[in-house]
């Protein structure tokens, strides 16, 4: 499965080469023109059958949250910092892969038996953790690990009950997988399928592309927080697994274009595709950089609901995934009928 292969690649923000190389190897033959820019963004241009002249971009980011090695102790342990937004509470005892050679390690702390009463009560901070690769000392560890090595979670793709799955990096290999299928089609409009870098560390790739492409219309394919978990009040749910792909009105970074959202909503209803709206304004994605870059762009985020996002054990529903792919495909089939120049 394409999504399985993508999630099991390591691509911490700033180190997306393994992901971009895989994408290039899989879909280059479907593009009319391919560009890899200085930052690492991949742009696949697909000519349309009857283009109107509007610039349409579809975006998904290749990077994932992770860690980076900052020092090696005399005892051979690796100290690290976070890359992207992580919760300290999900790090402890996780299995990780360090560096290009994927050296295996475990995130640890001082043994519970040696902790003070106060230490046992508080959340352990990243700066108090270390990675144990089994080295006896610093000299031995330095044979395998260097400062600046990227560190990924060592977590495989697993099928759960029914159509549910568990994997790391569903944010945003989901969007990448969908775009890799979409590019096999030819639409009326010219489409730029853009795989961005460094979204998790400041939307940097999309910021560059907003100026390079200056798209009239931008669709951002993402993952977003599903809050239908135990002990969460239903009235506080943001999105729910099984509810279909998610449309966003606004988040902390962008306002989705109202006309474009209505257009997508109409396509969903016309094709009997289940959908839901995000019921919170938290989070953000490449839409912010695209909406405000260059001359501005009409943006629409279409997302997959995902539990435990930004962790090694993201959980999603493949029925939502299939519905999300069907929705954006049908939208692109009719995007030539949407006016990108009409005043809002």
Measured between alpha carbons, how far is 266 from 201 in angstroms, rounded to an integer? 34
Domains 2-64+168-337 and 66-153 share a fold: no
* Pairing of the two strands 217-225 and 298-306: parallel
Tens place of pLDDT per residue across the chain (344 aa): 999 999 999 999 999 999 999 999 999 999 999 999 999 999 999 999 999 999 999 999 999 999 999 999 999 999 999 999 999 999 999 999 999 999 999 999 866 665 667 767 688 899 999 999 999 999 999 999 999 999 999 999 999 999 999 999 999 999 999 999 999 999 999 999 999 999 999 999 999 999 999 999 999 999 999 988 777 777 667 889 999 999 998 888 888 999 999 999 999 999 999 999 988 878 889 999 999 998 899 999 999 999 999 999 999 999 999 999 999 999 999 999 998 655 44
* Pairing of the two strands 150-153 and 130-132: unpaired
Classify domain 2-64+168-337 at the CATH class level.
alpha beta
Has 262 been annotated as catalytic? no
Beta bridge partners of 314: 167
The residues spanned by each domain of the chain are 2-64+168-337, 66-153
Answer yes or no: are the C-beta atoms of 29 and 173 closer than 8 Å.
Answer: no
CATH architecture for the domain at 66-153? Beta Barrel (2.40)
Measured between alpha carbons, how far is 245 from 260 in angstroms, rounded to an integer? 16
294 by Cβ neighbours in 10 Å (0-12 / 13-18 / 19+) ranks as middle
φ/ψ region of 288 (left if φ > 0, alpha if ψ in -120 to 50, else beta) reads alpha
For helices 318-334 and 170-182, the axis angle rounded to 10 degrees is: 40
Q: How many residues does the chain have?
A: 344
Spot the catalytic one: 64, 199, 200, 222.
199
């Amino acid at each position: 499965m394409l999504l399985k292969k993508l999630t099991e690649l390591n691509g911490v923000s700033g180190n997306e080469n393994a992901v971009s190389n895989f994408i290039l190897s899989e879909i280059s033959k479907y593009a009319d023109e391919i560009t890899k820019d200085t930052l690492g963004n991949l742009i696949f241009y697909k000519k349309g059958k009857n283009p109107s002249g509007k610039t349409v971009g579809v975006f998904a980011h290749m990077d994932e949250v992770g860690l980076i090695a900052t020092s090696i102790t005399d005892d051979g342990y690796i100290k690290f910092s976070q890359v992207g937004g992580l919760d300290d509470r999900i790090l402890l005892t996780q299995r990780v892969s360090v560096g290009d050679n994927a050296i295996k390690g475990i995130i640890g702390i001082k043994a519970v038996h040696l902790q003070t009463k106060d230490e046992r009560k508080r959340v352990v901070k990243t700066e108090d953790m270390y990675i144990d690769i089994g080295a006896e000392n610093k000299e031995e560890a330095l044979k395998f690990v260097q400062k600046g090595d990227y560190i990924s979670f060592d977590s495989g793709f697993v099928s759960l009950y029914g159509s549910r799955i568990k994997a790391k990096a569903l944010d945003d290999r989901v969007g990448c997988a969908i775009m890799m299928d979409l590019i096999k089609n030819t639409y009326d409009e010219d489409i730029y399928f853009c795989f961005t870098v460094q979204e998790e560390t400041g939307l940097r790739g999309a910021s560059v592309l907003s100026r390079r492409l200056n798209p009239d219309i931008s669709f951002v394919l993402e993952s977003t927080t599903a809050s239908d978990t135990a002990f969460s009040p239903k009235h506080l749910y943001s999105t729910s697994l099984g509810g279909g792909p998610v449309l966003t009105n606004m988040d902390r970074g962008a306002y989705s274009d109202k006309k474009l959202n209505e257009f997508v909503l109409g396509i969903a209803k016309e094709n009997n595709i289940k959908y839901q709206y995000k019921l919170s304004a938290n989070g953000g994605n490449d839409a912010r950089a695209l909406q405000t870059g260059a001359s501005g762009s009409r943006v629409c985020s279409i997302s997959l609901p995902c539990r435990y996002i930004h962790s090694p054990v993201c959980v999603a529903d493949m029925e939502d995934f299939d519905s999300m792919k069907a929705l954006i495909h049908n939208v692109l089939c009719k995007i030539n009928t949407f006016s990108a120049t009409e005043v809002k």
